[in-house]
């Protein structure tokens, strides 16, 4: 009997441990940003299907409800907000919001690289990958002065990048994942 209890306990602890590992690896839910494109539709209301761009002020406009703030919200949150506003016109609207373009999810690379400019972040991207995407350094780049400028609640922070340690494999800690709004500076 005690062996059975021990076996059950071990199986439970293993399954709980694996559940935690899966949830720790789960990426953060996508939040809409200015420049993103979404398709909004209301079931059985073809006239209410629109593809809209999230404006620089973080809002969209939609028939019957007008302007609604969506930046910083997930698609289920936007669906819920639109549903609440449409209940004035329909008894039980079923709203669907689908992300069609993530143009607002950008980082920027500037300085002495082959092709400076914006990068659309469609998944995790590190500093080293971003440098590769923009064609690498030009011949005058200062590899010792690379940094990432990131906006936070407390203003902007500067994250130094030790390129030589990254490419040598000595220390990968500064090969950070870029986030939307980051600027990678290569002096």
* DSSP code string of 36-97: -EEEEEETTEEEEEEEEE--TTSEEEETTTEEEE-TT--HHHHHHHHHHHHTTTSSS--EEE
Which tops the pLDDT comparison, 166 or 6?
166
Query: What confidence score (pLDDT) does residue 110 get?
Result: 97
Complete edge-to-edge strand list for the sheet that includes strand 106-111: 117-120, 106-111, 183-186, 147-152, 155-160
Percent of the chain past pLDDT 90, that is, above it, reads 77
Query: What confidence score (pLDDT) does residue 57 get?
Result: 96
Contact 71, 105 (CB under 8 A): no
Residue 77 reports pLDDT greater than 90: yes
Measured CA to CA, the distance from residue 173 to residue 176 in angstroms comes to 7
129-149, pLDDT tens digit by residue? 999 999 999 999 999 999 999
Strand-pair partners of 184: 109, 148
**Region 150-175: what's the mean pLDDT?**
93
Tell me the pTM: 0.69
Residue 77 — φ and ψ, nearest 5°? Answer: -65, -40
Residue 19 reports pLDDT greater than 60: no
pLDDT confidence tier of residue 177, bands split at 50, 70 and 90: very high
Q: Measured on CA atoms in the order 162, 102, 136, 109, is the torsion positive or negative?
A: negative
Q: Domains in the chain, please, with CATH?
A: 37-101 (3.30.1950.10), 106-186 (3.10.560.10)
Query: What confidence score (pLDDT) does residue 27 get?
Result: 65
pLDDT confidence tier of residue 71, bands split at 50, 70 and 90: very high
């Amino acid at each position: 009997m005690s062996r059975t209890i021990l076996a059950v306990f071990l199986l439970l602890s293993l399954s709980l441990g694996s559940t935690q590992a899966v949830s720790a690896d789960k990426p953060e839910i996508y939040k809409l940003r200015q420049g993103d494109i979404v398709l909004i539709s209301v079931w059985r209301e073809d006239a209410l299907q629109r593809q809209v761009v999230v404006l620089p002020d973080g809002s969209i406009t939609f028939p019957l409800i007008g302007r609604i703030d969506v930046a910083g919200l997930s698609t289920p949150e936007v669906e819920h907000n639109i549903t609440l506003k449409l209940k004035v016109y329909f008894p039980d609207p079923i709203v669907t919001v689908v992300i069609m373009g993530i143009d607002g999810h950008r980082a920027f690379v500037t300085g002495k690289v082959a092709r400076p400019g914006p990068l659309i972040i469609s998944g995790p991207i590190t500093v080293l990958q971003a440098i590769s995407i923009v064609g690498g350094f030009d011949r005058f780049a200062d590899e010792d002065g690379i940094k990432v400028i990131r906006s936070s609640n407390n203003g902007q922070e500067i994250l130094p990048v030790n390129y030589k340690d990254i490419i040598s494999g000595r220390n990968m800690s500064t090969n950070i994942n870029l986030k939307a709004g980051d600027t990678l500076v290569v002096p």
